[in-house]
Structure 1
Amino acid sequence: MAGTVSQPMIDFVTSPADWVIVLPLVLNLLGAALALMLANRQRWTFVLSVAVVLAVITCEVALLARIAEVGPVSMTMGKWLPPFGISFAADAFGAGFALAAAVVTLLVLVYAENERDGDASKGFHPLTLLLLAGVTGSFLTGDLFNLYVWFEVMLISSFGLIVIGGKPVQLDGAVKYGFLNFLATAFFLLSLGLLYGLLGTLNMADIRQAAPEANPAAMTAVAGLLLLAFGMKAAAFPVNAWLPASYHTPPAAISALFAGLLTKVGVFVLLRVMIVLLPASRDVLEPVLAVVAAATLVIAPLGAIAETNLRRAIGFVVIGGIGVVLVGLVVPTEQGVGGAGFYVFHAILTMTALYLVAGLIERATGTTDTRRMGGLYAADAPLSILFFVLVLAAAGVPPFLGFWPKLMLLQASIGAGDWAGFAMTAALLVNAVLTLIAGARLWAFMFWRSPPDLVPQSAEKRAGTGRVAASGILVAVVVAAGLWPNPVVEAVRIGAADFLDPSRYVTAVGLAGGAP
């Protein structure tokens, strides 16, 4: 085994305060099991699911407070201590993203309560809690094989969610979504086998210490395979075709969950693997990362401009956001990594809200085709404001939430002073302009021009107050975080510092050599 257990770890006892790391997972899994048993009583499953997610949010707030007090925290259940046992480890990024994921899940549950469709939606609540368990486990795990397990939990639950209702278009989207994600999972598992063969460990903190001693060429090959696997999970160019082909097929609430959670896990893990675990391999792969980031930034919003289906267009906006995060991989400074982390937080909130508002628009017009929409501004001005605010946030217009991470990434790219930094600067600016054009085009089609074939009804009357309230609250959170970004900026700076110098993380896991 490459890593060694430090002497103090022999008598190591986990502090009761650190059990808060695994409580969100336990609550989600138990809640999913109970919701499945109560599937015939959907009102009860809704109350249960909301209670479970509220408890998860409470635990994750406590976890963030714990990290702010003592730095990264970790626990390993049983007597198989690191690097032999499977650890859970939380830093500012992992805990913050897990909290954001729980918050948007809570609002999606409220939104979806008016969207239930009898027997067809019985599995929604247990699968949603199972999906949140997989997402939370992926953010908080300290072991790559355990990460594979949580990815499988996410894949199974998301596959079940995408086919709820059983419509032909959903089944078509499920096939495309499932095939490419199963392929990505196969690449991930293959890379784990190679990595274990090279290092003899899959503990993340141990990999950080053992990787510099391994064969550099072999490690770069494994890093390239991981880049392919997580690039597919994150929907980075050119392995992104599955997202716009599938995310628009389920109900809007499920699309919102997918957009806010799934690709963010993929890109977060890519950041952790390339920056924390295999920084030397990242340096070798930097030209590839720069090409992938620039292509994703530019091509995705062009797809949104050309698209006429509302949620398919938003899917391309989601892909463009993945390109923004990849810039942090190309310029891995504190500003760059902090900006990438900030954008993940922003995207969890904003992309979820975009799909929720899109669901309101589709209900108000009775169609998903923007060419058949129109006149919604006169029928429902507040709905037009919600969508317009989210477009500005996605494009990075100040003072909305998306502006601050893009500003940090621009500063990092300009400060890099090399060809990669120049390319990232240009691509970020082009992405902002194209995203704004795509959003303005959608807004003009849906809200400004006269309706071609129909007279739209009020979204509030047709959608129900629960949907409108959930969407409005999430947009309000996006606006408030954009106007007062300092707490998030400070948190992502702490997270970026621990990514670039993971000594505190290694020490928290309990491995020797973590301290500088």
Structure 2
Amino acid sequence: MMPPVALPLLVPLLAGALSLLAWRRPALQRSIAVAGTAALLGCGGWLLASVWQHGIRVAQVGDWPAPVGISLVADLLGALMVVIAGLIGLAVALYSLATVGSERQALGYFPLIHLLLAGVVGAFLTGDIFNLYVWFEVMLVASFALLTLGNERPQLEGAIKYVALNLLSSVIFLVAVGLLYGLVGSLNMAHVARRLAAVDPGLVDVLALMFMVAFGIKAAAFPLFFWLPASYHTPPVAVSALFAGLLTKVGVYALFRVFTLLFPHHPGYTHEILLWAAGLTMLTGVLGAVAQFEVRRILSFHIVSQIGYMLLGLALFTPLAVLGGLFYIVHHIIVKANLFLIAGLIHRLGGSHRLECLGGLYRRTPWLALLFLVSALSLAGMPPLSGFFAKLLILRAGLEAEAYGVTAVALLVGLLTLYSMVKIWAEAFWKAPPEGASPPAAPGRATLWLMAAPVAGLALCTLAIGLQAGPLYALAEASAAQLLAPERYIEAVLGPGGAP
């Protein structure tokens, strides 16, 4: 039996609706959050297995045939991203049980989490360019509400920058969609891909550049990335982890989708711009991280720097580079979300996010030091962790493409990433506690377990990917092959021969 393509999208929508019905029953909302995210993970795994065995799955909403109706499409990349979204959603839901207070829960925290996950999954599965815009707006509304939940001054300041740049991105995206429809008369991405071949190349250049800017802002690429480090450190850590793991990756996913499906034979100056953007994103992000002395701000700048590696995979546009970019996306989602969850544990056990106020955590909590090292060294690309193989693939692709300058930048960024992770280790874990500092009261055993369990689970995923990289490599390789052969996607949606 094959799963309905829409099932992973319906799960968070249903869970969110049930959470709203349970508005005055917080215990039931918490149970729905865990059950809903676990169900999303299970449905995503079922869908991925189906796509792996039977090929690209397509559902036509309302039984309207493509390109008239709205298509939901699950290829290997989309299904894999749904699985990862379910994994991060489950980890954050468990962590939230121990860290998100009753005040925020009463303001709709868990329904907003489900709404955000619905937007993420919808973006991964839609086959319609306008509906991609709609799901981006769903994510923007949910993320803005989560960012401001609690009405604390730092949250509101960060939210203003966050929403301003993302609204600019949405405007550019919407204008690009309008121009695209005016040129080809369709919004179905498979149909658009077929019709764009007959459009004037100069107009295609303009469209490609507009989509690049719109999705580049949402991915936090250079130069319009400053909204991210200004906002991601302000909400509760569970929210930051969800944002860090998924939101920018939806922008990266959209770039991969658009530049392999709509503009696959267009590797001209747009990919040259992407190459420069990738190098500058890596460099400026890591330099920002090196200059910080607050754990969450260091991690926020590192989101930016690591996005550069993913963009580099797309910019090089070779099979190995695209494979490396997809591998890097999966690795980074798991590692970065986990590092933010670990930052929450550091704050709970050490009493601060500031490095100068921390110390001695290695002696007090060696298990936390170990969990931090696994994720931190993986982010820096140390073997045998997942980040090593992700960086190795990107660097090999850069050398094979003779892009020596940006490959050297990638190597330098890796070293600076290691330096900033060692800085956190030395200040928070290794050095003695500051004089006169007394650790905060230890959390209860149940609270500590709820915080530590998802962190340990994601760390095990990182170890498993590193020690057994073969399955993810094969999946990323097959996903890259599908992306670089867009006719498979087009025929799956439109049928053999396709719509005119």
Shorter-chain TM-score range? over 0.9
1:281-306 deviation line (CA, Å, top 9, x unaligned): 44231221111000111121111110
5+ unaligned residues in a row in structure 1: which ranges? Answer: 1-15
- CA distance in structure 2 between the partners assigned to 1:299 and 1:228 by the alignment: 18
- CA distance in structure 1 between the partners assigned to 2:221 and 2:439 by the alignment: 36
Distance 1:153 1:321, change over 3 A: same
Distance 1:225 1:485, change over 3 A: same
Contact 1:234–1:265 (Cα < 8 Å) also in 2: yes
The equivalent position to 1:208 in structure 2, one of 187, 190, 193, is: 193
Contact 2:58–2:71 (Cα < 8 Å) also in 1: yes
Distance 1:512 1:36, change over 3 A: same
Residue 358 of structure 2 is aligned to residue 373 of structure 1: yes
- CA distance in structure 2 between the partners assigned to 1:223 and 1:194 by the alignment: 11
Contact 1:205–1:506 (Cα < 8 Å) also in 2: yes
User: How many Å apart are 1:457 and its aligned residue?
Assistant: 5.2
Query: What's the counterpart of residue 317 of structure 1?
Result: 302
Contact 1:383–1:459 (Cα < 8 Å) also in 2: no
Contact 2:257–2:483 (Cα < 8 Å) also in 1: yes
User: How many Å apart are 1:512 and its aligned residue?
Assistant: 4.2
- CA distance in structure 1 between the partners assigned to 2:31 and 2:104 by the alignment: 19
Query: What's the counterpart of residue 127 of structure 1?
Result: 112
State the secondary structure of the residue aligned to 1:479: helix
Larger RCO, structure (CA 8 Å, separation 6 or more): 1
1:427-460 deviation line (CA, Å, top 9, x unaligned): 2211111111111111111111122241335866
Distance 1:502 1:281, change over 3 A: closer
The equivalent position to 2:339 in structure 1, one of 349, 354, 373, is: 354
Which amino acid letter does the alignment assign opposite residue 329 of structure 1? Answer: L
Query: What's the counterpart of residue 241 of structure 1?
Result: 226
Report the TM-score when normalising by structure 1: 0.93
Query: What's the counterpart of residue 425 of structure 2?
Result: 443
Which amino acid letter does the alignment assign opposite residue 489 of structure 2? Answer: Y
The equivalent position to 2:468 in structure 1, one of 466, 481, 484, is: 484
State the secondary structure of the residue aligned to 2:241: helix
User: How many Å apart are 1:461 and its aligned residue?
Assistant: 5.0
Query: What's the counterpart of residue 286 of structure 1?
Result: 271
The equivalent position to 2:477 in structure 1, one of 493, 503, 506, is: 493
- CA distance in structure 1 between the partners assigned to 2:441 and 2:205 by the alignment: 55
Distance 1:233 1:352, change over 3 A: same
Residue 65 of structure 2 is aligned to residue 73 of structure 1: no
Query: What's the counterpart of residue 434 of structure 2?
Result: 452
Which amino acid letter does the alignment assign opposite residue 456 of structure 1? Answer: P
Distance 1:146 1:459, change over 3 A: farther
The equivalent position to 1:30 in structure 2, one of 6, 10, 14, is: 14
User: How many Å apart are 1:147 and its aligned residue?
Assistant: 0.5
Query: What's the counterpart of residue 12 of structure 1?
Result: none
Moved more, 61-70 or 241-250: 61-70
Residue 83 of structure 2 is aligned to residue 88 of structure 1: no
Which amino acid letter does the alignment assign opposite residue 110 of structure 2? Answer: H
Alignment of 1:251-400 (within 5 A): 251-400=236-385
1:66-94 deviation line (CA, Å, top 9, x unaligned): 11112111111224211111101111111
Contact 1:334–1:497 (Cα < 8 Å) also in 2: yes
- CA distance in structure 1 between the partners assigned to 2:277 and 2:265 by the alignment: 19
Distance 1:496 1:460, change over 3 A: farther
Moved more, 424-433 or 95-104: 424-433
User: How many Å apart are 1:270 and its aligned residue?
Assistant: 0.6
1:122-179 deviation line (CA, Å, top 9, x unaligned): 2111111111110001111111101011111111111111112221111111111111
- CA distance in structure 1 between the partners assigned to 2:411 and 2:351 by the alignment: 35
- CA distance in structure 2 between the partners assigned to 1:223 and 1:54 by the alignment: 37
Contact 1:327–1:409 (Cα < 8 Å) also in 2: yes
Alignment of 1:86-235 (within 5 A): 86-122=70-106, 123-235=108-220
Moved more, 351-360 or 366-375: 366-375
- CA distance in structure 2 between the partners assigned to 1:169 and 1:381 by the alignment: 32
5+ unaligned residues in a row in structure 2: which ranges? Answer: none
- CA distance in structure 2 between the partners assigned to 1:507 and 1:458 by the alignment: 61
- CA distance in structure 2 between the partners assigned to 1:268 and 1:293 by the alignment: 15
Which amino acid letter does the alignment assign opposite residue 262 of structure 2? Answer: L
1:365-385 deviation line (CA, Å, top 9, x unaligned): 221211211111111111111
Contact 1:121–1:165 (Cα < 8 Å) also in 2: no
1:472-507 deviation line (CA, Å, top 9, x unaligned): 111111111111111100001110001001222112
Query: What's the counterpart of residue 10 of structure 1?
Result: none
User: How many Å apart are 1:276 and its aligned residue?
Assistant: 2.1
Which amino acid letter does the alignment assign opposite residue 67 of structure 2? Answer: P
1:321-363 deviation line (CA, Å, top 9, x unaligned): 1000011122111111111011111111111000000000011
- CA distance in structure 1 between the partners assigned to 2:383 and 2:438 by the alignment: 34
Contact 2:264–2:484 (Cα < 8 Å) also in 1: no
Which amino acid letter does the alignment assign opposite residue 434 of structure 1? Answer: L
- CA distance in structure 2 between the partners assigned to 1:263 and 1:272 by the alignment: 14
- Aligned residue pairs total 496
- CA distance in structure 2 between the partners assigned to 1:441 and 1:57 by the alignment: 35
